[in-house]
Amino acid sequence: MSFSLLFKDELKGFYKSKVMIFLWAGLPLLTVLLHLLTPDTGEDIPFTMLSALLVSSIGGTLASAMLAVSIIHEKTVHVYDLFLIRPIKRWNLIISKFLAVYVCITIASILALILGIIIDYFVSGVTSEVILHGALESIVVSLSMMAIASAAGIVIGVISPSVLVGVILVIYGGNQISIIPMIPSIANMPNSVVFTIILGATITGVLLSIAIILFNKKQF
Amino acid sequence: MIKKKVKVESLGTSGKVTFEKDEGSRSQKNMVVLKELTKRYKQLLALDNVSIEIKEGEIFGYIGPNGAGKTTTIKIMVDLIKKTSGETFIDGYPMPEQKEEVHKLIGYLPQQVAFQQWRTVDQALTTFGKLSGVNPQEIERSIVELLDLLKLSDVRYKKIVELSGGMIQKLGFVQALLHKPKLLILDEPLSGLDPESRYQVKQILKDMSKQGTTVFFSSHILSDVQDIATKIGILNWGHIVTIGTMEELKEELIKENKVEIVLSKNSGKWTKLRSQSGIKKIKEIAPDKLLVHFESKDKSGEIIHQLIEGLLSNDCHIRSIIPVVPNLDEVYQQYLNGGGNT
């Protein structure tokens, strides 16, 4: 009950925030701009994949920064005090925040990627089956990267003493770790989609578990 | 220091410990029991063996200078920070072992109250009400009633970011009362409020206490503590200096009785009374006013009688005799300066 309530609340808070409005409109717009600026991506890299890389990189970084800054700020001004003295589990607070941002960023990314698929279809004229396979891989890689980036944002938010430290850690830590799910695709591994999902889910799970343990021990 | 013993009567299947008074005829339940609570931050000893007992329906005013450890005590009580050692029981439930049970029955106002800025007042209160397990109809009724009581009805649908500091403080108070808690734990609830709001909050606390709610509050405004607290605890450098009712604290301090005598005629011959037995000191503090210190508080009635006779026989006419009783500011200062029994 309290988890779903907090999740809905956080969703309401995030989807209307200025950063999310930028992402809702900005990511699809960025995809179109990318196409206009680099119309020829070569035969080896479909445009969908290129836009997925860009979207997940920017979206992931923004999600990570947004989560880290939000948690650091709420910790600093003692917003959590009023939640933690109520009969709820501490992990509900950070996981609901993670899910809310992840849902928002996923929708924004999928919109951007659909645009990429459409552009790919009209520009390259390849069969829909090839495009869909490429698109699926791109979406999986993109969502895995953003899940890891978001989870890293949660950990950074919990451990960072200030917004400045948090942002530095997001740029140099969260952003780097989120590229791990790309390894199966880059290495042309068989069943790369499955490996990407496993890698993404495992790293996200580990990061969130660390965040929960640290948050449970935190003194306010 | 005034201490009251408790004994552990039983440990039920719920893990709830029952405390009972050793002495006295009234069987009033202890709502808060802190036993030898200690908190250490590396080298700093923030709380040192703090023991407090508060009975159901009492209003406990917790006072002390900045950095004394008041907020630390409160945060340990609500499990926002961990104690180093000692025991905490709220309504018989040990903390933090049974914090979920305790969190259902407490209302808490932190010193720095803050809400998520994007929420409206209504959204914030509704969420807190739901998280406290109150049904939607009851939440709606409580929100309307409490916002009206604290004159916040006009801002119900405004965003938190648009509220003033005083409004946010009052909103913090509203969220603490929303679920009709058995125990209210308030850290500096009256700071930042205008006189009217302070009066309203004090009235609400008094009314709630009459209905059985226990209140534990810290404050720097001693006059407010004196107005509403039925029991007062003074904390200094992590130590409890004293605990008791206002009368008990004064009683402990008054080692010598003092009276102020207002004269309608002052012949100046009152100086002859300096040698009278039982009088420690007598001095003129204004042309028509004398301050008399007695040797002890025992037999003061008899000494006053002799004093009156002495003044009249020396051509000094008396308008009034007023016993000098310290207010909480004086009591507080004397305890902090080591004047009281510790």
A179 Cβ contact list (under 8 Å, min separation 6): A145
Of A165-169, B157-161, B296-300, B320-324, the one with minimum mean pLDDT is: B296-300
Q: Which residues of B fall within a CB distance of 8 Å from A16?
A: 118
Distance (Å, whole) CA A157 – CA A204: 15
Q: Can you give the residue range of the structural domain that contains A33?
A: 2-217
Q: What is the pTM of this model?
A: 0.79
Q: Residue A144: helix, strand or coil by DSSP?
A: helix
Spatial contact of B331 and B298, defined as CB atoms under 8 Å apart: no
- Quick one: average pLDDT of B52-81? 94
pLDDT at B339 over 60: no
Phi-psi region of A42 (alpha: psi -120 to 50; beta: other; left: phi over 0): left
- Does residue B218 contact residue B230 with C-beta atoms inside 8 Å? no
Closest by CA to A105, choosing from A139, A75, A135, A133, is A139
pLDDT at A39: 58
State the total domains in chain B. 2
- Whether B338 is in a domain gets the answer no
DSSP category for residue B29: P
The domain total for chain A is 1
**Is residue B53 included in any domain, yes or no?**
yes
Q: Do B96 and B191 have their domain in common?
A: yes
Mutation site, A4, A7, A81, interface B, largest B CB count within 10 A = A81
Whether residues B38 and B97 share a domain: the answer is: yes
The ipTM, to two decimals, is 0.83
> Is the residue at B236 inside a domain?
yes
* Average pLDDT of the segment spanning B175-193: 93
User: Who's near A70: CB < 8 A, 6+ residues apart?
Assistant: A97, A157
Of A5, A79, A85, the CB nearest to B116: A79
B208 within some domain: yes
CB under 8 Å to A62, separation ≥6 — which residues?
A19, A22, A23, A105
Give the residue, B36 or A187, on which the prediction is more confident: B36
Chain A: which residues have CB within 8 Å of chain B?
1-2, 5-6, 9, 12-13, 16-17, 74, 77-79, 81-88, 219-220
In terms of pLDDT, which residue wins out, A18 or B94?
Answer: B94
Inter-chain residue contact A5 with B131, CB threshold 8 Å: yes
H or E element at residue A43: none
pLDDT of residue A40: 60
Question: Is B153 within a domain?
Answer: no
DSSP-derived secondary structure letter, B155: G
Do B268 and B226 share a domain, yes or no? no
Q: What is the pLDDT of residue A129?
A: 67
pLDDT reported for residue B253: 65
pLDDT band at B295 (very low <50, low <70, confident <90, very high): confident
Annotate B283-314 with DSSP letters as a single string.
Answer: EEEETTEEEEEES-STTHHHHHHHHHHHHHHT
Instruction: Identify all chain B residues contacting A74, using CB atoms and an 8 Å cutoff.
Output: 114, 116
User: Chain A partners of B104 at a C-beta cutoff of 8 Å?
Assistant: 87
- Which residues pair with residue B218 across a beta bridge? B62, B187
Cα(A117)–Cα(A86) distance, rounded to whole angstroms? Answer: 47
- How does pLDDT run across B153-163, given as a tens digit for each residue? 999 999 999 99
- Is A107 exposed, middle or buried (CB count within 10 Å of its CB: 0-12, 13-18, 19+)? middle
| CATH number of the domain bearing residue B289 | 3.30.70.100
Please indicate whether, in this complex, the C-beta atoms of B130 and A84 are within 8 angstroms of each other: no
Examine the pLDDT at B7 and tell me if it is beyond 60: no
Residue B3's pLDDT is what? 37
Nearest to B110 among A6, A9, A81 (CB): A81
Instruction: Work out the angle between the directed axes of helices B165-177 and B121-131 (0-180°, nearest 10).
Output: 30
Tokens 């011959």 — which residue? Answer: B269
In a domain, B167, yes or no: no
Instruction: Specify the 3-state DSSP secondary structure of A147.
Output: helix
Helix (H, G, I), strand (E, B) or coil at A13: helix
CB within 8 Å: A85 and B118? no
Interface test with B, best of A12, A66, A79, A86 (most B CBs within 10 A): A86
Instruction: Report CA B308 to chain centroid distance, whole Å.
Output: 38
Which pLDDT score, from 0 to 100, does residue A45 have?
60
Range of the domain at B309: 255-324
Measured between CA atoms, how close is A80 to chain B, in angstroms?
Answer: 8
Per-residue pLDDT at B331: 78
Same domain, B97 and B243: yes
**Contact assignment for B116 to A74 by CB distance below 8 Å:** yes
A vs B: CB pairs below 8 A: 68
Asked if B192 and B314 sit in the same domain, the reply is no
| Contacts (Cβ under 8 Å, ≥6 apart) of B251 | none
Instruction: Say yes or no: B108 contacts chain A, CB-CB below 8 A.
Output: yes
Shared domain check, B90 and B28: yes
Q: Which residue has the higher pLDDT, B298 or A76?
A: A76
Domain shared by B45 and B111, yes or no: yes
Handedness of CA B47, B50, B53, B59 (dihedral sign): negative
One domain, residues B225 and B289 = no
Q: Using CA atoms, how far apart are residues A141 and A120, in angstroms rounded to an integer?
A: 18
Tell me how far apart the alpha carbons of residues A9 and A54 are, in angstroms, rounded to a whole number. 29
Q: Annotate A169-182 with DSSP letters as a single string.
A: HIIIIIHHHTTGGG
CA atoms within 13 A on the CB side of B165: 8
Identify the residue whose tokens are 């917004």. A163
- Determine the average pLDDT of the residues in B98-116: 93
Best of B74, B80, B171 to disrupt the A interface (most A CBs within 10 Å) is B80
CA distance A206 to A183: 18
Is residue B102 in some structural domain?
yes
**Interval B120-135 mean pLDDT:** 94
Low-confidence ranges of chain A (pLDDT < 70): 1, 38-49, 124-132, 134
Per-residue H/E/C for B47-110:
EEEEEEEEECCCEEEEECCCCCCHHHHHHHHCCCCCCCEEEEEECCEEECCCHHHHHHHEEEEC
Residue B17 burial (C-beta neighbours within 10 Å; 0-12, 13-18, 19+)? buried
Q: What gap in Å lies between CA B231 and CA B61, rounded to an integer?
A: 6
Residues B23, B25, B29: CA angle, nearest 5 degrees: 75
Q: What's the pLDDT tens digit per position in B215-253?
A: 999 988 888 888 899 999 999 989 998 898 888 877 766
Q: Are B334 and B278 in contact (CB under 8 A)?
A: no
Residue B42, in any domain of the structure: yes
What CATH number does the domain containing B112 carry? Answer: 3.40.50.300
> What's the rounded Cα separation, in Å, for the pair B299 and B297?
6
Beta-carbon separation of B80 and A74 below 8 A? no
